[in-house]
Structure 1
């Protein structure tokens, strides 16, 4: 053992505190050892043949204080860089399941585990609830879920049954030899091949969100540095999950409100098949559709859009749709009269809004459609011999002029042809100028495979995927989408 003099030993914690106050360089200079180190004790041997018996001390000297601090600072920089990279990846997630996958994956890298799972289960009970795994198959998650919740640390986090002051992480470094381990838990751990676990609660500013647990193949547990890093990451991840949870709930409420205001199902009318595709933006919008049976076997089809977004636009859409249904039942055979009445109602009750609408009075037995449009995009006729836009009269949206009036037009779809009504959100989501968007929609309709032309739902799906490829129809957008397809026998 080397006997190092006391005055050359460096208190690292004292250096850390000092460098926070006076700066790294000043702290190193202030606490650097001064003078020469004391000689190390060495054994005396007998003098032989005039040779000096003093043995020179070994060439081992203590590391300089500056090197110690530099190593410590290098470790800090490495840890901060790692946390920065992981949190940047987490910020890039925009959905709850995607964020949970990233949390359990990043946490596994921080604590040195190969597998894990994250459970989202907000304490307020309002959902949504979700479980995702990392390195675990769906069947593995099923096996783990058979273990009683109170027999696992993360289950106790979720149920809120941890003891006061025990809300921090929980380590089981040697799970299979743990006293009092639930027999089913032991069986599942042996079957899946994990021997240790480390669980961390996820708690945001709004309360408990869920928990995450990482599984080790051998008895192990994270060291203090790993615990510290994953704790910092877990706090940041909890706040990010809180924001995503609030956003998801707002989207769910908006979708629910819109769905309740729109038809729960399409009517069945002889001579025509109907299908609809509807996509709502994250804030909820004012696009709507309707299909209502009318006297003498007739059918009324309508698509429309109210300016604005959010709950107020959704409420206005509901009022206009209800009013149009009433007018259509009374005088549906005259679409111009229906839209005129709706425009008068808008000027009296919605003076700050405008709306577009396209109303079609259909007589399937005669394959006859009378159309009236107010600032709306023209319908598209899709058939084997023709794919073309129907010619409609140009007119202003409802609420834009002191008095709306436009002539109606009549079209006659042939047997097997499909009339596609849509809102302009489909065109706006392409991000292209309107003329090119119309051309893209027409090309998509021309390319409808012959095998699906008898199915209006398949036609609508094909058009939607072709006009908005790579999932653009599903991504968040301020633009709602409505496609209403009517195939005539």
Structure 2
């Protein structure tokens, strides 16, 4: 038997109050606030510790033979033992919430954040499937529907249910308030609900769910949306589960609000960048054009242009401005617009075009540098005169050859006090394609530059014969081959631009 010294004391009232604040203790009414009762020595009776969530006082696990006489009644749980168990549950809940919120914090895109919310909520309320409807109250979007364990067809079926006939729809419209003291709305038995919308009942039977729990999502900025978890059998979360999902949802809503703002900024930047690039490529006799553009989440400074010039000529350009984000996008727009003006005035001399562009960049934006390549094409004669400033050489793709154009080495724009480099003349054969690209295509591979160039050459040489008549198909093949496994679509700090011109 253990002998606990007399001076030991426990402030039961303080512990009970702390637990009650977390919603995990209901023992406050069972004990008077006068501290530990006079029979404190009953604590000397041994009791099994709580292990892995098992409460020995309520489980069927037998006590060791040496701790209790077989003919004696079980010793009642002492206040200190109850408090210890309650505190253990409190710590377990805090640990669970900490782990789930840590996982949510690591999400950096809105889609990932919504899916993590659904996974964590399903674990907390004991559901297997669910969906979240995102509808920010300010009406600025993005409006989206994301599912967990539900396919596109399943989500489509759910959308056919009249909005006013669903809990989440009424939560979003403000016509239904969450239950008092809880965070959401429970429908424990949908098929037995006489007031359920017939279409809702039919969809529930078709998708195989019998109960639901809906939770509003919102923060100080207003409503964000609503999350719904679905049960395969009639069920509803208990009070402890509702409390935990309420705590988690409050934090998740704040994080999702930040991701919504980030998504809006990304969308705005991407929209501006797309508007600054050609919305469509011109049609010029003797040549077919195709372009592919992939930008990172912050937006970058890679650009391309195809400009009809007098007497049936065509100006082709690609370039890249240092940096990323809105400032780089704005600089890219200014540089492209300036190059168009210089190309109209003196496009026959690409060196003069890039010299004027370099002077403008050095005077107006001395802190920036840029690479650029400009080509003056006469499609009917199949002749090209091009000049590059620190840019990667074009690639000629044909049935008889796949080779890089030999261009002279030159510094990027803005790096020297006066830029000038000789131009290069080339004449593509009928059916050959000239591929212009930016360095982002090479950088995204993660390989050293020599290996990246070799990969690009191998990808161009492997274009199937059936695709060589379509410059768009050629660009797609090169993009997917150089950047396999979705790297061409993945978010990256490196922009990618391909401009393909096939000469007839």
> Under a length normalisation based on structure 1, what TM-score does the superposition of the two structures give?
0.85
* Kept after mapping to 2: 8 A contact 1:205/1:242: no
2:49 is equivalent to residue 34 of structure 1: no
Match of 1:379 among 368, 385, 394: 394
Match of 1:118 among 123, 132, 137: 132
Distance in 2 (CA, whole Å) between partners of 1:12 and 1:188 is 51
Q: 1:488 — aligned with what?
A: 503
* Kept after mapping to 1: 8 A contact 2:104/2:252: yes
Q: Give 3-state SS (helix, strand or coil) of 2:410's partner.
A: coil
Match of 2:462 among 447, 453, 462: 447
2:110 is equivalent to residue 104 of structure 1: no
Match of 2:246 among 231, 237, 240: 231
Distance in 2 (CA, whole Å) between partners of 1:15 and 1:370 is 83
Distance in 2 (CA, whole Å) between partners of 1:350 and 1:35 is 82
Q: 2:65 — aligned with what?
A: none
Q: 1:86 — aligned with what?
A: 100
Distance in 1 (CA, whole Å) between partners of 2:273 and 2:315 is 20
Q: Give 3-state SS (helix, strand or coil) of 2:236's partner.
A: coil
Distance in 1 (CA, whole Å) between partners of 2:347 and 2:101 is 58
Q: 2:24 — aligned with what?
A: none
Deviates more, 1:146-155 or 1:250-259: 146-155
Distance in 2 (CA, whole Å) between partners of 1:11 and 1:349 is 72
* Kept after mapping to 2: 8 A contact 1:441/1:463: yes
* Deviations, residues 281-311 of structure 1 (Å, cap 9, x unaligned): 2222211110011122211100011222222
Q: 2:352 — aligned with what?
A: 337
Q: Give 3-state SS (helix, strand or coil) of 1:31's partner.
A: coil
1:281-296 matches, within 5 Å, as 281-296=296-311
Task: Give the superposition deviation at 1:159.
Answer: 1.7
Q: 2:170 — aligned with what?
A: 156
2:395 is equivalent to residue 389 of structure 1: no
Q: Give 3-state SS (helix, strand or coil) of 2:40's partner.
A: coil
Structure 1: stretches of 5+ with no match in the other structure: 1-9, 21-29, 38-55
Q: 1:364 — aligned with what?
A: 379
1:221-260 matches, within 5 Å, as 221-260=236-275
> Under a length normalisation based on structure 2, what TM-score does the superposition of the two structures give?
0.83
Deviates more, 1:232-241 or 1:72-81: 72-81
2:475 is equivalent to residue 460 of structure 1: yes
Task: Give the superposition deviation at 1:57.
Answer: 7.9
Distance in 1 (CA, whole Å) between partners of 2:264 and 2:475 is 29
Task: Give the superposition deviation at 1:219.
Answer: 2.9
Task: Give the superposition deviation at 1:397.
Answer: 1.7
Distance in 2 (CA, whole Å) between partners of 1:131 and 1:432 is 38
Q: 1:436 — aligned with what?
A: 451
The structure with the largest alpha-carbon Rg is: 1
Deviates more, 1:61-70 or 1:474-483: 61-70
2:130 is equivalent to residue 130 of structure 1: no
Distance in 2 (CA, whole Å) between partners of 1:192 and 1:376 is 56
Distance in 1 (CA, whole Å) between partners of 2:42 and 2:130 is 54
2:78 is equivalent to residue 73 of structure 1: no
Aligned-pair RMSD on alpha carbons? 2.7
Match of 2:321 among 295, 306, 313: 306
Deviates more, 1:133-142 or 1:283-292: 133-142
Q: 1:321 — aligned with what?
A: 336
Rate the CA distance shift 1:60–1:345 in 2: closer, same or farther, 3 A.
Answer: closer
Q: Give 3-state SS (helix, strand or coil) of 2:457's partner.
A: helix
Distance in 1 (CA, whole Å) between partners of 2:232 and 2:280 is 52
Q: 2:16 — aligned with what?
A: 16
Match of 2:224 among 205, 209, 231: 209
